[in-house]
Structure 1
Amino acid sequence: MKPMRTKRLILRNWEDRDRELFHRINSDEQVMEFFPFRRDRAETDAKMDEFRGWIAEDGFGFAAAEIAATGECIGFVGLLETDHV
């Protein structure tokens, strides 16, 4: 996926530097309130690798959202074909 840039955000594929944030998101009670599970670190790393693969293969998926001015990853956004669910 070629990174997409807006005035304030960069949407890009996941990088290894994002692993800690991705784990915090996937293990947070409030964020995951409507999911029946929380992911441990190994499960989170596997899911992030899966997301990276979808983007590499399809050119879209769940991309990291980064603040353009600071380089801070703040979460993710994306589109996904239903056969990946």
Structure 2
Amino acid sequence: MSELRTDRLLLRHWRDSDLDPWAAMNADPEVREHFPDLLTREQSAASIALFQAGLEQRGHGWWAVEVLATGEFIGFTGLDPADEGMPFTEMEIGWRLTRSAWGHGYATEAALACLEFGFKTLDLPEVVAITTTTNLRSQAVMRRIGMTRDPAADFDHPKVPDWPLRRHVLYRIRR
């Protein structure tokens, strides 16, 4: 099972101690601004179980992100296969960080480590990222890591029907 390390971050497997800060993140309206709902503690725990299972099965997925200097859990990033029913089949890169971690370059740093892993270790030809049309912070990270928006591939997210922010943009990067 792979873990990734950058100058400041450890992308690692999930621990029991991650549940409290993860649940707090998922209950934060600002962190969840571009998602349909806040998550309960039980939903957060279930997501950790799914993330950890993915890591164990594939050796990659949604890693927990920890600041090396402090040991603080700050969110997740990773590479995961496209969900069934999505209008793309490429490996997806993503991230979500707690508000206190915003503005420090952590999402960009973690995402670059994931891209390197995806291209060098997994030999992926291409990686995609998606977000709502209004999530300008994530779109900025996508551009900083070298991704380019593919406007022809923008889509209505099939798992969020009738939500005002259903429209999503798709960014791509090739090896």
Normalising by structure 2, we get a TM-score of 0.46
Greater per-residue helix proportion: 1
Deviation sequence 1:41-76 (CA, Å, 0-9, x none): 111101111111011111111111111121111111
Equivalent residue, structure 2, for 1:37: 37
* Whole-Å separation in 2 of the counterparts to 1:11 and 1:17: 15
Instruction: Name the aligned partner's letter for residue 9 of structure 1.
Output: L
Is 1:61 the counterpart of 2:61? The answer is: yes
| More relative contact order, 1 or 2 (CA 8 Å, 6+ apart) | 1
Identity of aligned residues (%): 39
Note the residue ranges of structure 1 that are not aligned, 5 or more in a row: none
In angstroms, what is the RMSD of aligned CA positions? 1.4
Equivalent residue, structure 2, for 1:79: 79
Q: Which has the greater radius of gyration?
A: 2
> Does the residue aligned with 1:82 lie in a helix, a strand or coil?
coil
The list of structure 1 runs, each at least 4 consecutive aligned residues, that deviate by more than 6 angstroms after superposition, is none
Equivalent residue, structure 1, for 2:28: 28
Instruction: Name the aligned partner's letter for residue 6 of structure 2.
Output: T
The alpha-carbon deviation at position 4 of structure 1 amounts to 1.4
Deviation sequence 1:5-55 (CA, Å, 0-9, x none): 111111101110100111011111011111111111111101111111011
* Whole-Å separation in 2 of the counterparts to 1:30 and 1:82: 25
The alpha-carbon deviation at position 2 of structure 1 amounts to 2.6
Is 1:51 the counterpart of 2:47? The answer is: no
Could you tell me whether the CA contact under 8 Å between 2:2 and 2:60 is conserved in 1? Answer: no
Instruction: Name the aligned partner's letter for residue 29 of structure 1.
Output: P
Greater per-residue strand proportion: 2
